[in-house]
Amino acid sequence: MAAAIATRAKPRGRWNFRKTWMLHLFLLPSVLLLLVYSYVPMAGIVIAFQNYKTYKGIRGSEWVGFEHFRTMFTDERIVQIISNTLVIAVSKMVAGWIVPLLFALLLNEIRISLVKRTVQTLVYLPHFLSWVVLGGILTDMLSEQGIVNGLLRSLGLPSVFFLGNGNWFQFTLVVSDVWKEFGFGTIIYLAALAGVNQSLYEAAEIDGANRWRQTLHITLPSILPVGVIIGTLSLGNILNAGFDQVFNMMNPIVAGRGEIIDTYVYKIGLLQGAFSFATAVGLFKSVVSLLLIGVTYRLAYRFAGYRIF
């Protein structure tokens, strides 16, 4: 019986491939680009274990083993940079998880379709702007003579040096990142809200539940799996504090509190030519991120039933 089933199953598999070979062909260029630009360059991580010299090349450079990693873990500046990265990244993750959820709940209560779509479009627009553009805009807005400090002075409040004070700089990074991206997260939650069974709300109304009770006992439990997935998968980016944003907004005054791993690797590697040490720092970050991604996928599968394969 099992052999007969297997025999019948084989032609089915070949038939499926014959039906989908064109889709695989469309996918082939993307796979090749991924291999050429993402996986083949991974061979260069060997320079993290060498005293790499460009004129000697990889084959001619001296092998030093884990010397660069020992230097990294004993450097107080690296500890501060990792601390900055964690504080900024975790703050972005938490705020970027809560704000879209709350805004989606509020937006879902709007019954006028035109108003709802207009607000949704407006909050989604910053997602398409690059940090090169937004960095210049925010620098002007948050400067001493900018519109924000002008508003504070008009209210009788003191000016704030947003981009010149370390504590305020980290706060500015988090708030501006949430402002740019929460519209995209809102769309995900709105899609989840659209799938909630409306008969549950009707039954709750019959039982006398108000909108707050309906939200607390119907809406939130219904979209909780989506929230768990978004929250757990974002843990894989715990060491990604946003290179584009920090690079375009940071200045030497706040470098002590604003420097993150990615900007440090850029400066130490490309600007100062310490390729081996920069590669070691980048490799450390990549390994930790890979482990975190594996853990987060496991958590997403356990608590929300989410899996890719």
The model's pLDDT over 261-309, given as tens digits with 9 standing for 90+, comes to: 889 989 888 888 888 999 998 888 888 888 888 887 787 777 766 666 5
pLDDT at res. 33: 93
Q: How many CB atoms lie within 10 A of CB 254?
A: 23
pLDDT at res. 36: 92
Reference 238, options 94, 69, 130; nearest CA is 94
pLDDT at res. 3: 46
Question: Is residue 101 helix, strand or coil?
Answer: helix
pLDDT at res. 206: 84
Query: pLDDT below 50 — which residues of the chain?
Result: 1-13
pLDDT at res. 160: 85
Domains of the chain: 72-304 (1.10.3720.10)
pLDDT at res. 1: 45
pLDDT at res. 18: 76
Reference 204, options 218, 190, 192, 193; nearest CA is 218
pLDDT at res. 308: 61
pLDDT at res. 307: 67
Q: How many CB atoms lie within 10 A of CB 161?
A: 14
**Residue 59 Cα distances to 40, 53, 65, angstroms:** 17, 10, 14
pLDDT at res. 6: 46
